[in-house]
Structure formats: structure tokens, C-alpha cells
């Protein structure tokens, strides 16, 4: 016998009926952007490897350890996207979207790929809803973008999260801060690898949760205390706008993101019910990325929300996002003639906008009624040979169990009325 083949390790799948919740979550997380002037963009799942190396940063774990890279038959090095931002910025530059009205406001959704060690909430294929606004320095834009994410979570009814917010400075104040932080870190008692990190990416060290390291970081200099006047003003204005919008946040001066492009406003959504993988979404400004990728020196801000993690957060809060069945009506034919008729009846219902399914393969009454119950339908339409001869169908309310004969010519209209009442 052939061996069975399983899905690759660390890849979640969403199967019916649970997949309905996956779609509902994606819808809810993207709704605020769709209602705020953001246009949909679909970029390729794979890109030239150099895009991520340059865009996301060689020193990040995402690029140095987690990329799914391969050489295609033409000898090109390609990589499955580990995130959306670099690809979207590339597309904006390539297609000149930044030559029109600014900011360019875009949203997208889909899978990203990271070769991480799989565990609960950490997958190798992860799903995001992603938003970018490119070509705008206005702090009101930062607040709009943060609000879009907040509104997405609120739309799902999620409550157990908090917004961590900070500013990472810009090219005029971060280098001096980085130097200061390195001077502080070089004096500490750190292992070899962490010492190396101090030289390459000192901000990441601030995020070290190991007690022997974290204990030494209590007095570390923090970026928000070393912002230049421009960054300080920008950050103050963002916070004022967020207050106007009724968004509360926690100051997170040690917040470090896993991608290198961030500047100024940076944020993360953290859910208390998820254990180690508590980041349900995150984002920030990336004011140097357009130029780094060969475009005009325009600023940008955006976020990625983890759809898989939002689903886990809903589960942790015991919230149901979808109720109701897959269909409203289930058609049950009894006999040869009825089977032909059943497909026509179901199709007429579907054409009229009523979600309908039917029993295939000559199921008996018992089996077909079981299938009707499982479908979540409100009503079963039972077609018997004698009923058809008399020009009627039996409509059974699957909750109350009551049944009545309805003339076939009136069936679609009657069912629509019943379902809408
Ligand atoms: P990120 O923080 O790397 O940001 O990912 C965004 C979200 O994707 C995370 O908060 C998390 O919910 C989810 N996520 C990331 N990795 C995994 C994983 N292995 N398994 C499950 N979920 C995961 C970005 O990707 C940036 N591109 C966001 C952005 C857009 N910044 C500016 N614009």
C-alpha cells in the first residue's frame, strides 16, 4: 500500500466547518481598511531573494534563519515572502503608484512563510491581513493606521489585548542612541552570542527575556528618552490623535520588532491568553524603506495582523464569530424522478440568493435528514414521488419539526419569505 502523505510540518489548515471562522476573521480584520479608502493589492507569493535581504534586513532572524529560498530553473534565487511590506513597497516603486495622489493606501491578505520552530500559534505558513500607507509623514496617518487595527480587533469582539506603543527614532537620533546602548551593553556580563548581537543589532538585546540578561538591563538607556526634537514632536502628535480616537495604549520603551526597517512610531498588539506567541499583530513606520529599495525617499507606515493568532485569541476568549449553518435550505429527494427535480429546485433557490444544498447519491430518508441537520439548514425540502405528482413539496422546519406542503410553483418565494421573516 502507498504511504499516506501529510501536510508539511508547522502548516495549519482550515477545514470546513471551522474554516468559516477563518474567513470571518479575515473579513473582520480587513473591514476597517476597506472602509477607509485602502485599495486591495495582490503581490506575488515569491520574490527575488535580494528584496527581503535588502528590505527586511540581513541581520534579522527572519532573513538570516527563516527564509524559504530556492533557485528556480532559470538559476534565479527566489524566496517565499516572509512578510508583505517589502513586496508591496517594491510594487509601489515598480508601478509608479507613488506618482499619483499621496499617501498610497493599500491592503492585502494571504499567507507568508517563515522557517520557524513550530509550536502553538507559531507556524511556517502564517496568514496575515496587512495594511500600508506610503508617502505621508502626517502623525494623523499613524493614528489612522493604528486605529484600523484596533477597529479590526474590536469588530471581532476581542477584549483581552493591549496595544504596546513606542517610537524608535529616525536616522538623525537613532545612530547616537545605538552607540549609547552599545556602550552600556559592552560593560555587561554576556555570553558570546549576545556579545555578537550587541555589535550587530543592539536593540534586539533589550528584548532578551532570560533572567540573567534581563536583570542587567534595568538601567539600560531607552530610545524614547533620546529622541530628536522632530521625532519627539511626531510621537506626541500621534498620541494626541490616538487619544482623540479613544484608543488607549501602554508605553513600551523596550519594544523591539523582528524586522529592521522600522523608524518612529512602532507598535504591537499583545494578547494575554496566548502564552509565548502573544503577538497578534504589529507594525510601524518605515521611513527609509522606499529609498532603500530604489524609490523616492517617501515615508510609510503599516501593520500585519496574524489571522491564525486572532483565531486562537477568539478561542481563548471563548468567542464565537460565526453562527448559523453552511446553507439555509437542504433538499431531500426520495426516488429517481425526485432526484432530477431536486437539483433543479436547489439551483432555483441558489439563483434566488438562498444558500441551498441537496442530498446526492440516492440516500434514504433517514440518512438524508441526518445530512440536512448537519448542514445547519433552517429548513428541509422533502421531494417524494407522490408529492411531485401532486405538484407540491414538503417543507420541514428543522428546529420545530413542523412540516407543511407547499406548491412547487411557489416554493422559492415561500422559502425566501419564511427565511427572511
Ligand atoms: P510581524 O510582527 O513579523 O510584522 O508579523 C505580524 C504578525 O504576524 C505578528 O504579530 C503575528 O501575529 C503574525 N505572525 C508572525 N509570525 C508568525 C508565525 N510564525 N506564526 C503565526 N503568526 C505569525 C510583519 O510581518 C510586518 N510586515 C508588519 C508591517 C506591515 N509593518 C509595517 N507594515
Q: pLDDT, tens digit, for every residue of 131-181? A: 999 999 999 999 999 999 999 999 999 999 999 999 999 999 999 999 999
* 398-406 average pLDDT score: 96
Q: Is 142 in the pocket of ligand 1 (CB under 6 A)?
A: no
CB-ligand 1 contact for 285 (6 Å cutoff) = no
State yes or no: pLDDT of 323 exceeds 80.
no
pLDDT by residue (tens digit) across 67-119? 999 999 999 999 999 999 999 999 999 999 999 999 999 999 999 999 999 99
Contact (Cβ atoms closer than 8 angstroms) between residue 396 and residue 331: no
**Domains, the chain, ordered by start:** 19-173+227-316 (3.30.930.10), 329-420 (3.40.50.800)
Q: How high is the pLDDT of residue 1?
A: 78
The neighbouring-strand residues paired with 404 are: 395
Q: Output the residue whose Cα is nearest ligand 1's atom 26.
A: 304
Residue 363 has a pLDDT of: 83
Residue with cell 434566488: 352
pLDDT tens profile 11-67: 999 999 899 999 999 999 999 999 999 999 999 999 999 999 999 998 889 999 999
Could you tell me if the CB of 260 is within 6 A of ligand 1?
no
Answer whether residue 325 shows pLDDT above 80: no
**Vertex 104, ends 101 and 109: CA angle to 5°?**
150
Q: With helix as H, strand as E and coil as C, how does the chain read? A: CCCCCCCCCCCCCCCCCCHHHHHHHHHHHHHHHHCCCCEECCCCCEEEHHHHHHHCCCCCHHHHCCCCEEECCCCCEEEECCCCHHHHHHHHHHCCHHHCCCCEEEEEEEEEECCCCCECCECCEEEEEEEEEECCCCHHHHHHHHHHHHHHHHHHCCCCEEEEEEECCCCCCHHHHHHHHHHHHHCCCCCHHHHHHHHHCHHHHCCCCCHHHHHHHCCCCCHHHHCCHHHHHHHHHHHHHHHHCCCCCEECCCCCCCCCCCEEEEEEEEECCCCCCCEEEEEEECCCHHHHCCCCCCCEEEEEEEHHHHHHHHHHCCCCCCCCCCCCEEEEEECHHHHHHHHHHHHHHHHCCCCEEECCCCCCHHHHHHHHHHHCCCEEEEEEHHHHHCCEEEEEECCCCCEEEEEHHHHHHHHHHHHHC
Nearest protein CA to atom 9 of ligand 1, as residue: 281
| Ligand 1 center to 82 CA (angstroms) | 9
Order of all β-strands in the sheet with 69-71 = 46-48, 77-80, 69-71
Parallel, antiparallel, or unpaired: how do β-strands 125-134 and 300-306 relate? antiparallel
- pLDDT for 153 equals 98
CA distance 282 to 153: 13
pLDDT tens, residue by residue, 340-360 = 999 999 999 999 999 999 999
Say yes or no: CB of residue 164 within 6 Å of ligand 1.
no
Ligand 1 and 239: CB distance under 6 A? no
Average pLDDT value for residue range 383-401:
95
Give the pLDDT of residue 278: 95
* pLDDT > 90 fraction of the chain, expressed in percent and rounded: 92
Q: Is the pLDDT of residue 405 over 80?
A: yes
* Cα pseudo-dihedral 370, 373, 379, 385, rounded to 10: -10
CB of 283 within 6 A of ligand 1: the answer is yes
d(CA 386, CA 393): 9
Neighbours of 410 (CB within 10 A): 12
Ligand 1 centre and the CA of 54: distance in Å?
Answer: 18
Q: Is 416 exposed, middle or buried (0-12, 13-18, 19+ CB in 10 A)?
A: middle
In the predicted structure, residue 324 carries a pLDDT above the cut 80: no
Cβ partners under 8 Å of residue 275, min gap 6: 120, 121
- Residue 287: what pLDDT? 95
Tell which wins on pLDDT, 280 or 18. Answer: 280
Among 309, 312, 314, residue to substitute to test ligand 1 (most atoms within 8 Å of Cβ): 309
Measured in angstroms, how far is the CA atom of residue 163 from the centroid of ligand 1?
15
292 C-alpha to center of ligand 1: Å? 21
- Grid coordinates belonging to 199: 555589535
Alpha carbons 167 and 272: distance in angstroms, whole number: 23
pTM of the model: 0.94
Least confident of 102-111, 310-319, 360-369: 360-369
Query: In whole angstroms, what separates CA 47 from the centre of its chain?
Result: 20
Rounded Cα gap, residues 134 and 374, in angstroms = 47
Q: Looking at ligand 1, which atom is closest to the CA of residue 283?
A: 31
Amino acid at each position: 500500500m502507498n504511504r499516506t502523505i501529510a501536510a508539511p510540518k508547522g502548516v495549519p489548515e482550515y477545514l470546513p466547518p471551522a474554516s468559516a471562522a477563518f474567513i470571518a476573521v479575515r473579513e473582520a480584520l480587513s473591514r476597517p481598511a476597506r472602509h477607509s479608502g485602502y485599495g486591495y493589492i495582490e503581490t506575488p507569493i515569491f520574490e527575488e531573494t535580494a528584496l527581503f535581504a535588502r528590505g527586511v534586513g540581513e541581520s534579522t532572524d527572519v532573513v538570516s534563519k527563516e527564509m524559504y529560498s530556492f533557485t528556480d530553473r532559470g538559476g534565479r534565487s527566489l524566496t517565499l515572502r516572509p512578510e508583505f511590506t517589502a513586496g508591496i513597497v517594491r510594487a509601489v516603486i515598480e508601478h509608479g503608484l507613488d506618482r499619483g495622489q499621496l499617501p498610497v493606501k493599500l491592503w492585502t491578505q494571504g499567507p507568508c512563510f517563515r522557517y520557524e520552530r513550530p509550536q502553538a500559534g507559531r507556524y511556517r505558513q502564517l496568514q496575515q491581513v496587512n495594511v500600508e500607507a506610503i508617502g505621508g509623514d502626517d502623525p494623523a496617518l499613524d493614528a489612522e493606521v493604528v486605529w484600523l487595527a484596533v477597529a479590526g480587533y474590536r469588530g471581532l469582539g476581542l477584549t483581552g489585548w493591549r496595544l504596546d506603543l513606542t517610537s524608535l527614532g529616525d536616522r538623525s537620533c537613532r545612530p547616537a542612541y545605538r552607540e549609547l546602548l552599545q556602550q552600556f551593553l559592552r560593560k555587561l556580563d554576556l555570553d558570546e552570542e549576545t556579545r555578537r548581537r550587541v555589535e550587530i543589532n543592539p536593540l534586539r538585546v533589550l528584548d532578551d527575556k532570560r533572567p540573567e540578561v534581563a536583570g542587567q538591563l534595568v538601567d539600560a538607556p531607552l530610545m524614547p528618552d533620546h529622541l530628536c526634537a522632530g521625532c519627539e514632536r511626531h510621537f506626541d502628535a500621534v498620541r494626541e490623535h490616538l487619544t482623540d480616537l479613544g484608543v488607549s495604549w501602554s508605553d513600551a520603551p523596550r519594544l523591539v520588532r523582528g524586522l529592521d526597517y522600522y523608524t518612529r512610531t512602532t507598535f504591537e498588539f499583545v494578547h494575554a491568553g496566548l502564552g509565548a506567541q502573544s503577538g497578534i499583530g504589529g507594525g510601524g513606520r518605515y521611513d527609509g524603506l522606499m529609498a532603500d529599495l530604489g524609490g523616492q525617499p517617501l515615508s510609510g507606515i503599516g501593520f500585519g495582523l496574524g489571522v491564525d493568532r486572532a483565531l486562537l485569541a477568539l478561542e481563548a476568549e471563548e468567542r464565537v464569530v460565526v453562527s448559523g449553518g453552511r446553507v439555509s435550505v437542504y433538499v431531500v429527494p426520495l426516488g429517481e424522478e425526485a432526484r432530477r427535480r431536486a437539483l433543479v429546485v436547489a439551483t432555483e433557490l441558489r439563483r434566488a440568493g438562498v444558500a441551498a444544498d441537496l442530498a446526492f447519491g440516492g440516500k434514504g430518508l433517514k440518512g438524508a435528514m441526518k445530512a440536512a441537520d448537519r448542514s445547519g439548514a433552517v429548513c428541509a425540502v422533502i421531494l417524494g414521488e407522490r408529492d411531485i405528482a401532486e405538484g407540491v413539496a414538503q417543507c420541514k422546519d428543522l428546529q420545530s419539526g413542523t412540516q407543511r406542503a407547499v406548491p412547487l410553483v411557489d416554493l422559492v418565494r415561500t422559502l425566501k419569505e419564511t427565511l427572511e421573516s
